[in-house]
Structure 1
Amino acid sequence: MSEKAPIIINDDLFLNTVSCPLKFIHITNDSLNRDTSKLYFRQRNKLHIRDAISLRFENCRHTSNSTKKAFGETTELLKEETVAITGAVIQQDKVLTRIPILVKNDKKLIIIQVHGKLRKQSEGDEIQPGIKKRSIVRYLLKAAYRLDVLKRQFPDYDVDVHLYFPNKHFKSSIDHLHLFDQASFFTRKKIKRELLELFTKVRATKAVEQIRQQIPIEQSHQYFHNESVSSAIEKIKLMIHQPHEFRGIDRHKSCKYCDFRLSRNESTEGCWRQFFSSEDINHTEKHVFELIGHGNSAESENGTFYQEEAEFSRGFDSLEKMLHQNIATIPILNRRNLQILKARDLAVPSLWIKQSMKSINDLKYPLHFLDFEAATYAIPMKKESRPYTPVYFQFSCHTLHQSGKMIHTEWLDLQDKTIHPHREFVCQLGRIPDIFEGTIMQYSPFEKQGVNRLIADFKREQKKYKKELEILEKIRTSRTDKYEHRFFDVSRIIRDYYFNEYLKDSLGLKQVLQSILKWEQSSEFSDFFDSQVNDVLFGEKGEEKGSKTFDPYKNVKDSDFSISDGSDAMNAWLSYKNGLMTDEEKSAVPEVLKKYCTLDSYALFIIFKHIKRFTGLLDSEDYILLNRNNR
């Protein structure tokens, strides 16, 4: 049996443990099964930004990805009189930090941290002590930990802290700035000048030193209130030997944002089930944080953490009272009350569709269930672009004809790194069968906004982009006079006119899809999961096929990575475009990206398919199917 690796306090473990000591147990247990050898796409893109900033420093040296190797390399590099070390690793006893860039000049050290938050020129070049902005305070706490570790190792050195942010007012004067590390020598000076303007240096030493002396209450659990960073580190050291001996730790409002609160798979229990006795609660998995709408923070601050203990809004403490309202929509407050009713095992509808849902019967075919994927990045890819200008790199469209025929069209930018995707993106959009006819179905206004944004962008050079503008204008405008639904937002009708018993805290596409799949699985309608639906959602080897969880996005994966949301997709494509992928990844990643985007557009069709068959039952009243347990 292999010996258990010693627990080392690092940046991540320190910050998480200070926010809640129970995270220490979860993180250290997880670390035994975590593969630390892989550098995932989001991390690669962050390091890419770090490397862009490192170009401003003389004698800049890069360390290995491996923390162990980087520690040895850092030790050797710090023997030089002047050096800038990217990925510097400092370790003292059981305490370790990895610093994005560490600059040494004789007996002076500078911690360089890189952050993605845009900064205005009016915010100044120094962060003052006492700042209360939550995101900035978290950056400062991370720096305070790093400063403390450095001071332990180098007590006689002066240490400053500089934070770097993208400049909100920057506009690139060259194309392909994101390929700064692959540019020719001829353009090196210009690229360096661009990057100097792109990233703003902000001095933060005094503010960091203040936080080092006393960790802000807003960033810490009461277990660490009034502690210095150094004393907090010593407390965490004791946890290594006595990990379960915590006192005074209870549920708190910050649990809402914790990844460990709920079980993440069938083999593990969530934090609350492990550590908090709930004998009087029948539904310990239903927390107030999953109640939709506002009021969750007030509930938790008052010591209410379970849905069955939450208060009803406006006195609507029964289904009958809500039905008696007889209003055109299902308000958020009513949705919240329905969740509380269900948590108390009281009557709720299994399905509730308002009369106004009949509007989907007036949509003109073909219906184009369209999904765009866009990337935003701190380093602009195109001349005249600012940081985080959206770049549309992929789409999937399922076109449904009135006959029932379905055609799937997709496109993913896999062009050379130096080719900006928008021209080809628009050209491929124009090739979707019958795209200029019928209705474009979207979830949120994102696709319509994307078309408008592209039109505005191309109009800056109308002669050059005449063909693209013609395509976009034809997509934007219906050929049928006075047809108001050229772009139809499915999220709006779900928000106003639809409820099922499995809906939780969000009306987002993925959450609504999962609730509908769960509803259909337990319904009397056995024809919903035909072979096409099963194949597209779950595939032939879909692990979730026929399961109760029904999350098709769990199957969008390769052996080494998964793509479960737009952020994952964005970072995968950015890594491809930034030249940060291996040849093996270049072969595997596109197929996973295509499957993800296909699921998004097909999810729209599934939602439509589900609600469409009930609209024929709507007349002068809502369609209400009572919960099976309350018939």
Structure 2
Amino acid sequence: MNKPRYLTKSRFKMATECPTKLYYTGKNEYPNTMLDDPFLAALADGGHQVGELAKQYYPNGFDITTLDYSQAEKQTLELLKLEEVVIFEPAIRFNNLFIRVDILVKKGNHFELIEVKAKSYSRQKNNDFINTKGKVDSTWKAYIYDVAFQKHVLKNAFPKSSVSSYLMLVDKSATCVTDGLNQKFILEKDEHNRKGITVSSSLDAKDLSSKLLTKINVDKVVELVYETELHTGMPAHSFKDNITALAKHYQEDKKISPVIGKKCKTCEFRCSVEDEQQGKLSGVKSCWQEQLRWSDKDFNDKTVLDIWNFRGADKCIEQGVIKLIDVEPEHIGEVETKNAALAPKERQWLQVEKEQNNDKSIYFDAESMQSEMGSWTFPLHFIDFETSAVAIPFYKGMSPYEGIAFQFSHHIVNADGHVEHAGEFLNTAKGEFPNFEFVRALKSQLENDQGTIFMYSSHENSYLNMIYRQLNDSNELDKEKLCEFIKTITRSTHSSKENWHGERCMVDMLELVKKYYYDPATNGSNSIKYVLPAILNSSQYLQDKYSKPIYGSNVSTGSINSLNFKDKVWIEVDEQGKVKDPYKHLPKMFTDISNHDVELLSEGDELNNGGLALTAYARLQFTHMSDYEREELEKALLCYCETDTWAMVLLYLGWKEMINE
């Protein structure tokens, strides 16, 4: 028997992003690019322990765990006969609207509706969630919509009762008073392969004495939502009328006419050519065909959605300028060139122009890059960090979402051209705070010379700034030496109380890509996920050298030392003669998840495997596994992180060869 077609809070959230999505959701013929595995999604998100922590604040609450709509509703109504009761995940239905409230507190004829979110909150900054223009703060809009929807359903289901609505959020100003609190909420799979939290029997009153979560009344901003929000592209004119209209469309399985725009770029209802050949349908493609009357051939052309970092896509689409071939300079905007480096708008127009002229050649400012390289000091150091930030702290004295740096990799390129994987660090021990040990290991790797240090994006700089603050607040005996080291290789961030710019401040290779290098094969992306395959395919030098098993070899001429690989061949070609993405032929980080999910976790704007590494760390911290499984996962983490810094080396070597051509 099919489940009733109720508009739930997750479906409503999807509809607020784009109401047409309601038609695609849940249909096998329309693939969804969200993570297949709900347990994996819980690991990748990292905030699901927060919901269980919130329950601990209500020790006498009743938990409704059944997934069956009617059973859950029946159990809820039975409990609500009590004069006073706290229920977790109660099922409330009004007509074709259905919600599961995180926490519902009933006292007589009054309800407290509490939505728990693993989002950090600052009372000074966020206040009442209303911006200076008197509108809902865009940062919080999705969360407020969620509560507003639930309050509407609850109030209609129980019209004689009053309802107060709350967000329970992670308090950034709170500090943890015990060690290992995070480890007391273990993530496990239930019989439905969904997330389930096991709370340790050692959790006690002291653990909960300092509340990491804070409950904020949102009735004022919810009323503002009812009065002013959710009009554009929706089937009705008011928030509450739209709830009714959306529910009706979903119940009758009727498609709401799409409004295409920049949001289509991140739509989850899309599929590959291979999927289409197997009879699957792309929701995005269906919308665009409906609105633009495009044929299949039209989708081969690049559009304004492909332009890197372009904020004018919606305006172009409104004007009927969709394909790059139709874009004019005025659509991008005027550029005043003040220096040799590509300005963002210049880079955008360069991408458009090359597409219009079918120009596949690489833009490379060899002179400027050579000038940059002339300022570097050998040996060159390439580093990459893997990090995590979770809501419930690992350690006493830490605040929610205070970062953990658990891994780094380090490659060196010497003046004579010799390359070596010089070092690495990994600490995944459960409940251990690795940051200070991490910096000590990094210091020992980098303090032996004055060589230039490279990162890819500002992530490493930001994390070292954070660890600098942690050290200042610590009792570490060597904290002054460690802080001084950090200041020599970083620049202070905007949030820092001090200002500094280290004499060995790390060079950001991502910024070098943006300024001096553009390959049309990257399709406008500056992520190394696209930049690395592009330069491997364009550089005959790299292809010739690294198609041989010299990486991780101790015997070959020009061999490269490796801590994790032996006789590794990095250049492999596919049937079309294209160099394969090196990350695609690494050992699988997880053997029990689909390639689809691996691909999604590999997406990112920085280095390739950030999502994979973070998820692996979460699995090592928050799940039960055998020693063998732990060892294999740690081996995979070492291989992936080494590949990250090796990718940076390959990029440098490719550029160096291009300068010499």
Alignment TM-score, normalising by the size of structure 2: 0.75
Does 394-403 or 28-37 show the bigger shift? 28-37
Superposition deviation, residue 194 in structure 1 = 0.7
Q: Which amino acid counterpart does residue 202 of structure 1 have in structure 2?
A: I
Quote the residue 2:47 is aligned against.
Answer: 46
1:142 to 109, 126, 146: 146
Q: Which amino acid counterpart does residue 389 of structure 1 have in structure 2?
A: E
- Contact kept? 2:177, 2:206, Cα under 8 Å: no
Alignment of 1:426 onto 2:466: no
Change (3 A) 1:101 1:128: same
State the secondary structure of the residue aligned to 1:46.
coil
Alignment of 1:237 onto 2:248: yes
- Contact kept? 1:49, 1:379, Cα under 8 Å: yes
Alignment of 1:223 onto 2:234: yes
Quote the residue 2:495 is aligned against.
Answer: none
Superposition deviation, residue 251 in structure 1 = 1.8
Rounded Cα–Cα distance in structure 2 between residues aligned with 1:515 and 1:420: 38
Alignment of 1:382 onto 2:395: yes
State the percentage of identical aligned residues.
22
Rounded Cα–Cα distance in structure 1 between residues aligned with 2:207 and 2:66: 25
Superposition deviation, residue 265 in structure 1 = 6.1
Superposition deviation, residue 587 in structure 1 = 5.9
Q: Which amino acid counterpart does residue 152 of structure 2 have in structure 1?
A: D
Quote the residue 1:254 is aligned against.
Answer: 263
Change (3 A) 1:396 1:545: farther
Superposition deviation, residue 282 in structure 1 = 5.3
Quote the residue 2:613 is aligned against.
Answer: 569
Q: Which runs of 5+ in 2 are unaligned?
A: 186-198, 490-500, 553-564, 605-609
Change (3 A) 1:526 1:122: closer
Superposition deviation, residue 505 in structure 1 = 3.9
Rounded Cα–Cα distance in structure 2 between residues aligned with 1:236 and 1:592: 46
Quote the residue 1:87 is aligned against.
Answer: 89
Rounded Cα–Cα distance in structure 1 between residues aligned with 2:136 and 2:332: 37
Question: Aligned pair count?
Answer: 592
Quote the residue 1:515 is aligned against.
Answer: 534
1:69-468 alignment to 2 at 5 Å?
74=76, 77-78=79-80, 80-91=82-93, 95-122=97-124, 131-151=135-155, 153-179=157-183, 188-195=204-211, 198-209=212-223, 211=225, 213=226, 216-217=229-230, 221-229=232-240, 232-244=243-255, 246-247=256-257, 249-260=258-269, 263=271, 266-268=274-276, 270-275=282-287, 276=289, 277-278=293-294, 284-294=300-310, 295-313=312-330, 328-347=340-359, 349-358=361-370, 359-360=372-373, 363-401=376-414, 402-407=416-421, 409-417=423-431, 419-430=432-443, 432=445, 436=449, 438-461=451-474, 464-466=476-478
Superposition deviation, residue 80 in structure 1 = 4.5
- Contact kept? 2:7, 2:246, Cα under 8 Å: no
Superposition deviation, residue 143 in structure 1 = 1.5
State the secondary structure of the residue aligned to 2:382.
strand
Rounded Cα–Cα distance in structure 1 between residues aligned with 2:15 and 2:551: 42
Superposition deviation, residue 201 in structure 1 = 1.8
Rounded Cα–Cα distance in structure 1 between residues aligned with 2:535 and 2:614: 27
Alignment of 1:606 onto 2:614: no
Change (3 A) 1:602 1:316: same
Output one character per residue of 1:177-230: Cα deviation in whole Å (capped at 9) or x when no partner: 434656776x833332311xx32221123533554x56723xx54233414446
1:473-492 alignment to 2 at 5 Å?
473=484, 477=488, 487-492=506-511
Quote the residue 1:11 is aligned against.
Answer: 9
- Contact kept? 2:6, 2:96, Cα under 8 Å: yes
Change (3 A) 1:531 1:484: farther
Output one character per residue of 1:241-288: Cα deviation in whole Å (capped at 9) or x when no partner: 4445x44x342343344333x645642464443332236985654221
Q: Which amino acid counterpart does residue 82 of structure 1 have in structure 2?
A: E
Q: Which amino acid counterpart does residue 252 of structure 1 have in structure 2?
A: G
Output one character per residue of 1:159-180: Cα deviation in whole Å (capped at 9) or x when no partner: 3211122334334444444346
Change (3 A) 1:349 1:97: same
State the secondary structure of the residue aligned to 1:110.
strand
Q: Which amino acid counterpart does residue 150 of structure 1 have in structure 2?
A: L
Superposition deviation, residue 78 in structure 1 = 4.2
Output one character per residue of 1:518-571: Cα deviation in whole Å (capped at 9) or x when no partner: 545xx697426525699989x999999667695555665422263425355335
Output one character per residue of 1:352-380: Cα deviation in whole Å (capped at 9) or x when no partner: 23312113255444333210122223333
Change (3 A) 1:333 1:604: same
- Contact kept? 1:107, 1:158, Cα under 8 Å: yes
Q: Which amino acid counterpart does residue 499 of structure 1 have in structure 2?
A: Y
Does 442-451 or 37-46 show the bigger shift? 37-46
Quote the residue 1:627 is aligned against.
Answer: none
Q: Which runs of 5+ in 1 are unaligned?
A: 618-631
Rounded Cα–Cα distance in structure 2 between residues aligned with 1:227 and 1:415: 52
Superposition deviation, residue 94 in structure 1 = 5.2
